[in-house]
Amino acid sequence: MTFRIVHVSDPHFGGLADPAQVAAVEELVPDLDPRVIVLSGDLSQRSRHGEFQAAQAFVRELERTAPVFVIPGNHDVQWWWRPFVPFGRMVTYRKYMRYFGPVLSPTLTFPEAIITSALSPHGVAWGSLTYRLRDIAVKGHLPRKQIQRAAQLFQEADPEQLRVLVVHHNVLRGELSRRMGLARWRQAQRRILKSGADVVLCGHDHQESAEVLGGRVVVSTAGTLSQRSRGGRPSVFNRVTVDEDSIQVELYRWEADRRLFKRTDVYAFPRPRRTDEAEVPTGVS
């Protein structure tokens, strides 16, 4: 069994998107043979109709190769509509839902894998607030109900199925930014570890990485397809390849002079073995 995921994040359609990078991804993806393409948020820059329309066209082009799994990022939330109102918050996702449907935390199932998501961008919400003003509407959080829903799906999955959790905000500290994407990040990491996920796909930080959380959950953080890559470094998207024994994360880095993405780094991790005792996640809180 080999299961491949192309993992793209943060195109920021609008003033920051790089059309050459977008075109290069569209051209290369069919050769990467993915079963699914995951776009982990920040499709737009300011949640404008034209930006979402461009993102929708990008998704439709990718769908010619494989199903596309899409979630919103913090830039896709019109948080200014109800910044401190706890009820009726769905209006803040209204434009995103117009173009990508009403399900904000989608799930997609294959014989080899179950892919689900947890909504982390909530605009100005109590769970996302920190003591730093710059974090307002930028940081995210993982509500207990979101992780419990994912854990239940993983629990009901076949033991041989790969369990993939998709969130927008980076769940590990960025190497250059030194920032966590999630407020209450220790709590979020504990919840992810207890959920039963094998792989987490995220973005937000605009710097790529492939690491392990808690010694057993492989975290693929994709970069950006925009002109604002962290530290002025080349943009990167990832491909995750899973077989019976291993999980590999390959980084495809932008070469501006050749106007293409080229594979530059490969990280390999052992695939966790699911025992009867560890098969069912418990106590997600």
pLDDT digits (tens, 9 = 90+) for 228-258: 999 999 999 999 999 999 999 999 999 999 9
In a domain, 88, yes or no: yes
CB neighbours of residue 50 within 10 Å: 11
Residues 6 or more apart from 110 whose CB is under 8 A from it?
3, 35, 36, 161
Residue type, position 242, single letter: V
State how far the Cα of 20 lies from the Cα of 253, in Å rounded to an integer.
Answer: 13
In a domain, 188, yes or no: yes
Longest alpha-carbon distance in the chain: 52
pLDDT at 80: 57
CATH number at residue 84: 3.60.21.10
pLDDT digits (tens, 9 = 90+) for 13-37: 998 899 999 999 999 999 999 999 9
Residue 151, classed as helix, strand or coil, is helix
Structural domain containing residue 155? 3-270
In a domain, 258, yes or no: yes
Residue 88, classed as helix, strand or coil, is coil
Helix then strand then coil, % of the chain, to nearest 5: 30, 25, 45
pTM for this structure? 0.93
In a domain, 29, yes or no: yes
Q: Is a pLDDT exceeding 90 seen at residue 47?
A: yes
In a domain, 126, yes or no: yes
In a domain, 279, yes or no: no
CB neighbours of residue 180 within 10 Å: 23
pLDDT digits (tens, 9 = 90+) for 206-226: 999 999 999 999 999 999 999
In a domain, 277, yes or no: no
Number of domains in the chain: 1
In a domain, 285, yes or no: no
> What percent of the chain is modeled with pLDDT above 70?
91
Handedness of CA 259, 170, 69, 48 (dihedral sign): negative
